[in-house]
Amino acid sequence: MLMIYIIGFIVSLVLALGLTPLVKKFAIKVGVVDVPNARKVHTRVMPRLGGLGIYLSFVIGLVALLPFIPDSYISSRDLDFVGAFLVGGTMIVLLGALDDRFDLSAKLKLLIQIATACVVVFGFDIKIEFANIPFHTYSSVETWMSIPFTILWIVGVTNAINLIDGLDGLAAGVSAIAIGTIAVMAFIMGNEITAVLCLLLLGSILGFLYFNFHPAKIFMGDSGSLFLGFSLALLSLLGFKQVAIVSFLTPLILIGVPLSDTMFAIVRRWMQKKPIFSPDKGHLHHCLRELGFSHRQTVLIIYGIAAFFGVLAIIQSSAALYSANWVTFVVICIMVFFLQIGAEVIGLIGKTKRPVLNFIARLRMKESTERGSD
């Protein structure tokens, strides 16, 4: 299987390098372009629809590679997984491509995303069947709970990558790190098909990233961000415990960057008495730019944060295999601490909202005063 992994990655990478320029020309020809506005960083009209290049590279690579995978490595459940991935992914890419061209309404996009999730759940019987909840053993999840939760998870994560698609190469790079993390966990747990899918997708993303890193020549658009979000939803949901079992925390850690950015945005807008869904320039990449970091430096810093979350996800998932719940507790504490401190330093909640840093400063001041009195 090692050669299949390597060949799959190289094939998808080469395909993305070759197809992305063609997609760029096609996007310009049909008028699928991104026009600058007050909330966007770029200053010139850019072709989007780059997600189509990622999708085509992945699908062509998968179709070319499947005949060479030994039957002993593919179960009927794996085939359901692949089928759900291809059908659902195709629906999502078409939705994103249409939105890139025609700016569909949010309600229509949500309905189609829910329909896609229903196809995955009811058409291929893909749903959460077991859960590894911290400080608890594996337990069955009732159908009445697993179906709506699976649909909610797919729809939610599908939209997660779109939230950080604000700088050249940011969404693609963060997605590549998350997919690479899942590939590592798939290797550890012996899930060959998930590893193959991850490496094919990773090659496709990196090939596209060559054209998308600052200064970008093409944007991925919603066709890319939605497809990558959908891919993360399925791979994180199904890629760990022989397709059916999901670790409760691991998928959340994997999408830690967009998830935490969204969480702090909600808190920030609530404290500022603004509508929760109103756009602003207080996201992670905006705050880093305001601190004086360049475009590339900001993207690389967020890559580092995503890699940090990836390492935590691997540690937590590996510990779950051996029921080491104390490791899960430590991971949670580390994650919450660094999230809060980082958010206060960067200013994600607000420029003056720094309760933990202020508390530490008061403690240091008190200690300094006591030493002076002695």
CA distance linking residue 118 with residue 109, whole number of Å: 14
At 373, the amino acid letter reads S
Question: How far, in Å, are 91, 135, 191, 219, 300 from residue 320 at the CA level?
Answer: 34, 10, 16, 38, 30
Report residue 329 as tokens: 């507790």
The reply, when asked if residue 99 is annotated as ligand binding, is no
In three-state secondary structure terms, 194 is helix
DSSP 215: S
Q: Beta-strand (E) ranges in 213-273? A: 245-247
HEC per residue, 294-331: CHHHHHHHHHHHHHHHHHHHHHHHHHHHCCCHHHHHHH
CA distance linking residue 41 with residue 58, whole number of Å: 29
CA distance linking residue 115 with residue 120, whole number of Å: 9
The reply, when asked if residue 222 is annotated as ligand binding, is yes
Binding site for Mg(2+): what residues are annotated? 162, 222
Q: Which residues contribute to the annotated binding site?
A: 162, 222
